[in-house]
Amino acid sequence: MASIVARALVTVDAEKASKQDMELLKKLVMEFKDELDALGVKVDSLDKRVAVLEDRLGGWKVNGQFWFDARFASGTDDGRNTYGFNNNTDRDENQFGFRFARFMLTKYIDENTFFYGRFRFNDGSGKLDNFFADKFFVQTKLPWDITFTLGRVYSDWEGDAGLYHSVMGDLEGGLWKDQYYDGFNFKKSFGMLDAELLIGRNFDILDGDGDDNNEFMEYGLKLQANFSENFYAGVQGIYFQFDGDENSVTKGDGFYRDYADDYQQYGAYLSYSFTPSIALRGYYYWQDLGDNAAAGEEDSPMAWSAMLDVKQDLLKFTSLWVQYVEQDNAFVGPRAAGQYPALFASDQAGAMGTDGTNKTWLVTAEQQWGESKWSSFLQYVTTDWDQSGVDDTDQYTIGIGYQYTPQIKFWLAYNYIDYGDGNGSENGYTGNESVVLFRTAIDF
């Protein structure tokens, strides 16, 4: 019987076979796996072929993210609970809720065109309300091999260039990471040069903070030169043209002001791999706030970062990510200072005031335990806010993960934040806070 199954594996055409036939063949493979291994038959590809068939059955693909957190905090941060969910108005110390409750829908229209939508509920505890789509677009090919995307589009230029690092797959790192906008995106490669142009509106500059009207046009251009497999560099520019509505607000909690005038951001970045296991990367951003900055305040803030990425196959026992960031406190962006940790960014996040330059060190060490399903990490983050009366914020994290199945992973982590003796603001974050997190991450 094993020989018959082996011949079927050789002759079957996954593109023409029905889903039922592929499922039956898959069950037979599992039943006679040992015999097939003895015959030297490779069966791993069958799962991949079945997966592709299932993914695109009828041109549709459905997947999702079900990330559930159990958080147990000390509640010592002046009663504010740094680790609260967004809708935890009572600031409970112990909380159960969703980090992500999402599902994604893809429709393959033809060989060059597909639709993609990502639908989600409000993260946190309580009712899964406020259902919305944060990505909703169609992507296709235009003449001259131009990739064209339109709708509610998402761009992550920092992620594309490897300029931030993710440990637990959360909203980690990245100073100018998330760009959601309604509009158009064009991508084109010219040999070693990759170009991307975006035209849109409704970008939420502050990543959902405050009641933002965001009444402005956004234009962006990124050019990346790929000099070799080891070295690439790029430049980018983003121009925000406000409609002139005085109610266009980027943030209303005192860190930023109302922005009703145009402003620009320019940037450059590079990455060089000394070996496949060692890479050095960095970026530099500069902004022109125009008349948005009040008299005597910084109107051309900047931010820059350097990062060293060392893989575990070089050090053997751990990988290492070391990053240094400087950001002027007047810098405007969706993910200001404090957004670097693996989990639970300090609620001191956000540039403090409009003068001075905050400075952050981030050190992350991750360990994959051989061929097992176990992994672990250690992380240290410290930020000097460069403000009188505001102490440094220090953060320490340790975590362990277990990949139960390819789709299910369990995390257990401990996080500790030390705010110091004072922060000079009304937020009142002083002393320290700690939390134990148990996360079940299911990706299907």
Answer with the one of 13, 33, 55 that is the final residue of a domain: 55
Say what the pLDDT of residue 134 is: 86
Same domain, 60 and 50: no
Distance CA 302, CA 281 (A): 18
pLDDT digits (tens, 9 = 90+) for 118-159: 998 766 666 666 778 889 999 999 999 999 999 999 898 998
Contact 327, 303 (CB under 8 A): yes
In the chain, what percentage of residues exceed pLDDT 70?
Answer: 65
pLDDT of 346 over the 80 cut: no
Same domain, 211 and 273: yes
pLDDT digits (tens, 9 = 90+) for 188-243: 999 999 999 999 987 655 444 444 445 678 899 999 999 999 999 999 999 988 77
Same domain, 254 and 169: yes
Averaged pLDDT, 54-79: 77
Say what the pLDDT of residue 255 is: 35
Token couple for 350:
């956000």
Q: Which of 93, 89, 87 lies closest to 124, judged by CA?
A: 87
Same domain, 1 and 101: no
Distance CA 107, CA 85 (A): 33
Same domain, 43 and 159: no
Contact 155, 125 (CB under 8 A): no
Range name among 117-126, 331-340, 395-404 with the lowest pLDDT average: 331-340
Task: Please tell me the total number of residues recorded for the chain in this structure.
Answer: 444
Residues 6+ apart with CB under 8 A from 123: 85, 86, 97, 98, 99, 100, 101
Place of tokens 């050190």: 363
Provide φ and ψ at 297, rounded to 5°.
-100, 160
Token couple for 55:
């993914």
Angle in degrees, 0-180, between the axes of helices 2-11 and 19-31, rounded to the nearest 10: 140
Structural domain of 20: 1-55
Distance CA 16, CA 298 (A): 64
Same domain, 341 and 223: yes
Answer with the one of 15, 38, 55 that is the final residue of a domain: 55
Same domain, 244 and 199: yes
Same domain, 337 and 371: yes
pLDDT of 402 over the 70 cut: yes
3-state secondary structure of 155: strand
Same domain, 24 and 150: no
Q: Which residues of 94-112 are buried (b: 16+ CB within 10 A; e: fewer)?
A: ebebbbbbbeebbbeeeee
pLDDT of 112 over the 60 cut: yes
E-assigned strand segments in 143-215: 146-155, 179-190, 193-201
Same domain, 395 and 287: yes
CATH number at residue 229: 2.40.160.10
Averaged pLDDT, 423-439: 73
Model confidence at 441, pLDDT cuts 50, 70, 90, reads very high
Range name among 15-19, 246-250, 407-411 with the lowest pLDDT average: 246-250
Distance CA 189, CA 225 (A): 10
Contact 367, 377 (CB under 8 A): yes
Distance CA 28, CA 9 (A): 10
Bridge partners, 107 (sequence order): 60, 115
Answer with the one of 55, 73, 90 that is the final residue of a domain: 55
Q: Radius of gyration (Cα) for the chain, nearest Å? A: 24
Tally of structural domains, the chain? 2
Token couple for 34:
């040992």
Place of tokens 């909690």: 253
* CA-based torsion, 309, 312, 315, 319: positive or negative: positive
Place of tokens 């008299």: 295
Contact 381, 341 (CB under 8 A): yes
Say what the pLDDT of residue 314 is: 95
3-state secondary structure of 121: coil
Same domain, 218 and 104: yes
pLDDT digits (tens, 9 = 90+) for 356-371: 888 989 999 999 998 8
Same domain, 271 and 384: yes
